């Protein structure tokens, strides 16, 4: 059955998931890239939305063959586009349960993102964490939305692979881990520091850097050695270089 009406309840429900407050309420997020849906095949989507023309062409048969029919919804092309975040949608959206976890680790190396703002940066950092096999990413509550479609897109399928946690700054400093703040004027360079188990490196906000609270409460401080004539690196680049050094 093809859903054609904007008054349909499933249509309205899925359309709402484009907004953060509904994503949070229902604990769901959307993936629009077929290749990512395929790479995440060990994660079962809760719902699949397909547009009518793709369905008729059998375009996504490999993706949907393992999914229960009652969770697959077909929409007329005309209203399907309202469910998409991208303008050039391939014609399918998979909706997954949130993938973040509870932090119960007592070893490993992690990054703490201290109010990171750009979904593209957050997604990129997750992708680099996956590439260099970091043990996980911990995100401050006021960072941008992990489940923003742009974050998900930039992470490629790494959002499904990297352990991701949420934690307040206060809880972070209470952990029995070594909290390392990154600061341009710190005297030790990441080139000289030997990263070890239980290190958590704090990456600051794109404009403001690491928060005062974590600057005051960090156990140690590191800099990325850059030219004095440059204000800063891109947050994704800075975090990726740190992950690269941590996992040496």
- Quick check: 227 binds a second copy (CB under 8 A)? yes
- Quick check: 99 binds a second copy (CB under 8 A)? no
Q: Parallel, antiparallel, or unpaired: how do β-strands 72-75 and 47-51 relate?
A: parallel
- Quick check: 193 binds a second copy (CB under 8 A)? no
Cα angle: 233, vertex 237, 241; to 5 degrees: 110
- How far, in Å, CA of 80 to CA of 53, rounded? 10
- Quick check: 244 binds a second copy (CB under 8 A)? yes
CB of 90 to a second copy, least distance (A): 16
The nearer residue to a second copy, 3 or 113, going by C-beta atoms, is 113
Q: Is the dihedral of CA 101, 102, 105, 108 positive or negative?
A: positive
Phi, psi (deg, nearest 5) at residue 94: -110, 140
- Quick check: 132 binds a second copy (CB under 8 A)? yes
Of the candidates 13, 18, 41, 40, the one whose C-alpha atom is nearest the C-alpha of residue 29 is 18
- Quick check: 152 binds a second copy (CB under 8 A)? no
- Quick check: 233 binds a second copy (CB under 8 A)? yes
- Quick check: 87 binds a second copy (CB under 8 A)? no
Candidate ranges 75-83, 91-99, 124-132, 197-205; the one touching a second copy (CB under 8 A): 124-132
- How far, in Å, CA of 195 to CA of 41, rounded? 34
CB of 81 to a second copy, least distance (A): 23
The nearer residue to a second copy, 51 or 236, going by C-beta atoms, is 236
Q: Which helix (H) or strand (E) holds 10?
A: helix 9-16
- Quick check: 169 binds a second copy (CB under 8 A)? no
CB of 244 to a second copy, least distance (A): 5
In angstroms, what CA-CA distances link 21 with 141, 154, 164, 166? 14, 21, 20, 17
Candidate ranges 14-22, 129-137, 140-148, 213-221; the one touching a second copy (CB under 8 A): 129-137
Candidate ranges 10-18, 174-182, 212-220, 228-236; the one touching a second copy (CB under 8 A): 228-236
203, 242 Cβ separation under 8 angstroms: yes
- How far, in Å, CA of 236 to CA of 160, rounded? 19
Would you tell me which residues interact with a second copy (CB under 8 A)?
Answer: 124, 127-128, 130-133, 154, 156, 158, 161, 191, 226-227, 229-231, 233-234, 236-237, 240-241, 244, 248
């Amino acid at each position: 059955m093809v859903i054609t009406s904007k008054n349909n309840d499933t249509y309205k429900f899925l359309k709402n998931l484009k907004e953060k407050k509904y994503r949070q309420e229902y604990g769901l997020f959307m993936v629009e890239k077929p290749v990512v849906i395929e790479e995440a095949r060990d994660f079962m989507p809760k719902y699949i939305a397909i547009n009518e023309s793709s369905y008729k062409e059998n375009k996504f048969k490999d993706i949907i063959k393992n999914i229960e029919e009652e969770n697959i919804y077909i929409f007329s092309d005309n209203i399907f586009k309202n469910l998409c975040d991208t303008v050039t949608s391939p014609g399918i959206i998979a909706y997954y349960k949130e993938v973040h976890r509870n932090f119960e680790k007592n070893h490993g190396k992690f990054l703490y993102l201290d109010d990171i703002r750009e979904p593209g940066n957050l997604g990129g950092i997750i992708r680099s964490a996956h590439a260099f096999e970091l043990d996980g990413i911990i995100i401050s509550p006021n960072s941008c939305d992990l489940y923003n479609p742009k974050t998900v897109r930039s992470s490629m399928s790494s959002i499904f692979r990297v352990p991701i946690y949420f934690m307040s700054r206060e809880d972070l400093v209470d952990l029995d881990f070594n909290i390392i703040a990154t600061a341009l004027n710190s005297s030790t360079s990441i080139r000289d520091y030997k990263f070890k188990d239980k290190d958590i490196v704090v990456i600051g906000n794109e404009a403001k850097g690491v928060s005062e609270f974590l600057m005051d409460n960090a156990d140690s401080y590191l800099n990325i050695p850059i030219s004095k004539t440059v204000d800063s690196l891109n947050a994704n680049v800075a975090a990726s270089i740190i992950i690269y050094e941590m996992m040496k």
